[in-house]
Amino acid sequence: MPAVSPLDMPDTDAPEQQPARRRISPKSPRQVLQPEAAPPPPPRSQKARHPLVVVLNFFLMVVVLALLGTGAAFYFGNQQFNKPGPLAETTSVLVQRGADLDSISAQLHRQNVIHSPFVFTTAVRLYKSEGDLRAGEYLFQPGVSMRDVLDDLVSGRSVLHAITFPEGWTSRQIVDRLNADPVLIGEITEEPPEGALMPDTYKFTRGATRQQMIDQMKRVQERAVAEIWARRAPGLPVETPEEFVTLASIVEKETGRADERPRVAGVFINRLEKGMRLDSDPTIVYGVYGGAGAPPGHTILLSEKNKPTPYNTYQIDGLPPAPIANPGRAALEAVANPSRTDELYFVADGTGGHSFASTLEEHNRNVARWRQIEAERQAAAEAAAEEAAAEEEAAPAEEPAGEEPAEDGAADTPAEDAPGDAGSANP
């Protein structure tokens, strides 16, 4: 270790050096009150003045402003799109097939469903739903929002109209009702044959054609006949689906009560198996009046009962050549699976139903009972008519002008149930 020289050792006895004091120049009071001058700014960076930086700053500002504007526009548009609309009352809007987005928006605005076609059109395109809008008739409730309008148009929740065809109607009656419906359009090219249509309630949208309804009823009937015919009871005396529908049409016209259809079908099945004539009153009516049907309140006349027609089962053996009406599904089911009884006759019982019998003697008693009910009803009706006439005579009345006196007598007499007749559902 080298020796330390005394000269190298610090002098601890030497006095400490004081820092040099800055000489303060006294200022005058005026100079004290004046602010000192600020230092000059640093020199501007050469990079900040570069043209590329200036351009980038400009574009960045444009992007920021655009984002702010887009956000504000989206917020405003979303508020408009979801808020309740101006519609004050329930309104029906018909969107035609082939209508484009602009025409649909204009139509909705004209009918006061939406308040801004621009907002609606923009929203539809943003949701990429322009190609999903469906034609149809739509029913919009008061205050419906544009979002709900779009949902309805995309889902196709259009107004459904309904039309009902009672079971047992003829094809002409069905065609007449279709032609009278004000919502359906187009013409029916050809009147369908009897038994080709399925009576039911059908729903459709505005713009549907009458021929489309006919075609739909045909398809439903064909499927029903094929399905029920395939699971019919064995040994039935009907050999083809056409005969099956023909017998079902007779059953349909004989009774409107669901609980009686299998029983009525059983009577006709039994008569066919025994080689007996069906003796069904509705076949008389169809043979005389066809698909137009008898006039309201018509009573079958003896001359009509004895008139030979291809459909009159009092005059022909077996089944008519074709159906006499369009049977419903229940009548088809009844013929496919009839009640297994030994009954051969039935007649009206005065309550809307029928009295059934297995023997001619029992049937004749039922007929006599029905005739008594008819006589009592006729007497009550005549008494009511006489009472009404007496009241009219007691009250002063003016002589009607322009009326001719009615002729006395009638050209024919009502037909009565003869022993052996199968049914008198429409006496």
pLDDT tens for each residue of 339-379: 999 999 999 888 889 999 999 999 999 999 988 888 888 88
Interior CA angle at 372 toward 366 and 374, to 5°?
A: 105
Q: Phi/psi at 395 (nearest 5 deg)?
A: -90, 145
Task: Report pLDDT digits (tens) over 113-156.
Answer: 999 999 999 999 998 999 999 988 999 999 999 999 999 999 98
Secondary structure (3-state) at 352: coil
CA distance linking residue 121 with residue 101, whole number of Å = 7
Secondary structure (3-state) at 52: helix
Task: Report pLDDT digits (tens) over 259-315.
Answer: 999 999 999 999 999 999 999 999 999 999 999 999 988 889 999 999 999 999 999
Q: Is-contact 348 368, C-beta < 8 A? A: no
User: What is the pLDDT at residue 255?
Assistant: 93
User: What is the pLDDT at residue 322?
Assistant: 97
- 391 or 323: which leads in pLDDT: 323
Secondary structure (3-state) at 294: coil
User: What is the pLDDT at residue 19?
Assistant: 57
Interior CA angle at 126 toward 120 and 130, to 5°?
A: 70
Please give the distance of CA 70 from its chain centroid, rounded to a whole number.
Answer: 43
User: What is the pLDDT at residue 424?
Assistant: 47
Q: Rounded to a whole number, what is the distance in angstroms from the first to the last CA of the chain?
A: 151
**Regarding beta strands 345-348 and 354-357, do their DSSP bridges make them parallel or antiparallel, or are they unpaired?**
antiparallel
The DSSP 8-state label assigned to residue 290 in this structure reads: G
At position 409, the amino acid (one-letter code) is G
CATH 3.30.1490.480 intervals, the chain: 63-157
In the structure encoding, which two tokens stand for residue 221, read together?
């009937």
CA distance linking residue 114 with residue 309, whole number of Å = 64
User: Looking at the predicted structure, is the pLDDT value of residue 50 above 70?
Assistant: no
Q: What would the DSSP string read from start to end of 99-151?
A: --HHHHHHHHHHTTS-S-HHHHHHHHHHTT-GGG---EEEEE-TT--HHHHHH
CA distance linking residue 129 with residue 149, whole number of Å = 12
Q: Calculate the alpha carbon distances from 76 to 69, 70, 72, 126, 304 in Å.
A: 10, 10, 6, 15, 79
Radius of gyration of the chain (CA): 48
Q: What integer best gives the mean pLDDT of the chain?
A: 84
Q: Given the structure tokens 């008898």, which residue do they identify?
A: 294
Q: Is-contact 213 163, C-beta < 8 A? A: yes
User: What is the pLDDT at residue 157?
Assistant: 86
CA distance linking residue 17 with residue 29, whole number of Å = 35
In the structure encoding, which two tokens stand for residue 14, read together?
């030497």
User: What is the pLDDT at residue 385?
Assistant: 82
Sign of the CA dihedral 159, 93, 128, 119? Answer: negative
Element (H, E) at 345: strand 345-348
The DSSP 8-state label assigned to residue 164 in this structure reads: E
Element (H, E) at 13: none
User: Looking at the predicted structure, is the pLDDT value of residue 197 above 60?
Assistant: yes
Second-level CATH architecture of 63-157 = 2-Layer Sandwich (3.30)
- 1 or 269: which leads in pLDDT: 269
In the structure encoding, which two tokens stand for residue 325, read together?
């009406």
The DSSP 8-state label assigned to residue 337 in this structure reads: S
User: What is the pLDDT at residue 392?
Assistant: 75
Q: Is-contact 211 262, C-beta < 8 A? A: no
Secondary structure (3-state) at 425: coil
Question: How large is the greatest C-alpha to C-alpha distance in the chain, in angstroms?
Answer: 173
Shortest CA distance to 194 belongs to which of 219, 168, 226? 168
User: What is the pLDDT at residue 224?
Assistant: 97
Q: Calculate the alpha carbon distances from 5 to 2, 10, 210 in Å.
A: 9, 11, 131
Above pLDDT 90, what percent of the chain? 58
**Regarding beta strands 345-348 and 136-140, do their DSSP bridges make them parallel or antiparallel, or are they unpaired?**
unpaired
Q: What would the DSSP string read from start to end of 181-217?
A: -SS-BS--SSPPPTT-S--SEEEE-TT-BHHHHHHHH
- 220 or 75: which leads in pLDDT: 220
CA distance linking residue 331 with residue 225, whole number of Å = 11
